[in-house]
Amino acid sequence: MGILRFGCALIAAAVACASYCAQAEVTRIEIASRTDILGGKPFGAAGAYEKIVGRVFFSVDPMHPRNKAIVDLDKAPRDAAGRVTFSADLYVLAPKDAARGNGAALFDVLNRGRKNIIRDFNRAPAVPDPTAEADFGDGFLMRQGYTLVWVGWQFDIPRRGGLMALDAPPALDQGKAITGRVSTTFTPNTAEPTYALDDMGRYADTTRYPPLDPASWRTRSPCAMAFLVRHKPFRATSGSSAA
């Protein structure tokens, strides 16, 4: 119960910081695991830290004026109270003895499901699940007594490799899934003669946008794909090279 109150306070604070744009409530937090970091090794005066992994559940009032700006919120399913619910991955590194911490939480905004703050402040390698001593770098943030918090916020993150994501409700039109054309941008990191568009799983969970008809030529044919390369538009066609 203590960690539930603690976690709710952390997430509620994060939500409050963004309340000028939208308003949401944390309804509950489920803790999947709690483990001592480095076997209980102390980080200076802040003492030992623990890793808390779980999920945080939110509830949004689609009729609230501040929530009108959320795209397609009015099309999401509602619960018995008329609210839209969703959940997200939760990851916390906190002093085991809260009295030894500095009373401040640092909320790290994930980059495509990846943690940044330990890399940026502790001079540590970028790892999805800090576990080994090297993963915490010089331990700067822990020695200062900070609580570190991550919450998934993007729905199209692949659920692999420790990446963190959000489970968003579907957008429906009269109870049916909305269909339409989906576009995306990508920047290859290496010079390659070809680039497979179905290899976007490295960056996004493409199953979140399943094709309406996988067998359709509109789905399978490169003729249906338009590109913009070096600010010069061209259309890929079978058996021809790009201009």
Say how far apart CA 60 and CA 26 lie, in whole Å: 9
Give the count of domains, the chain. 2
Q: Is residue 219 assigned to a domain?
A: yes
- What percent of the chain is predicted at pLDDT more than 70? 69
Assess whether 77 and 169 both reside in one domain: yes
Whole-model pTM: value is 0.74
Q: Is residue 241 assigned to a domain?
A: no
Q: Is residue 243 assigned to a domain?
A: no
pLDDT of 200: 55
Q: Is residue 201 assigned to a domain?
A: yes
Assess whether 109 and 217 both reside in one domain: no
Residue 202, phi then psi, degrees to nearest 5: -70, -25
Assess whether 144 and 189 both reside in one domain: no
Assess whether 168 and 191 both reside in one domain: no
pLDDT of 149: 97
Q: Where is the domain boundary, 128, 150, 173?
A: 173
Q: Is residue 102 assigned to a domain?
A: yes
Say how far apart CA 69 and CA 60 lie, in whole Å: 12
- The residue segments making up the domain with residue 15 are 2-173
Render pLDDT for 57-110 as a digit per residue (tens, 0 to 9): 999 999 999 898 888 899 999 999 999 999 999 999 999 999 999 999 999 999
Assess whether 138 and 185 both reside in one domain: no
Assess whether 54 and 129 both reside in one domain: yes
Assess whether 198 and 143 both reside in one domain: no
Residue with the bigger pLDDT between 180 and 13: it is: 180
Assess whether 161 and 224 both reside in one domain: no
Assess whether 134 and 203 both reside in one domain: no
pLDDT of 124: 95
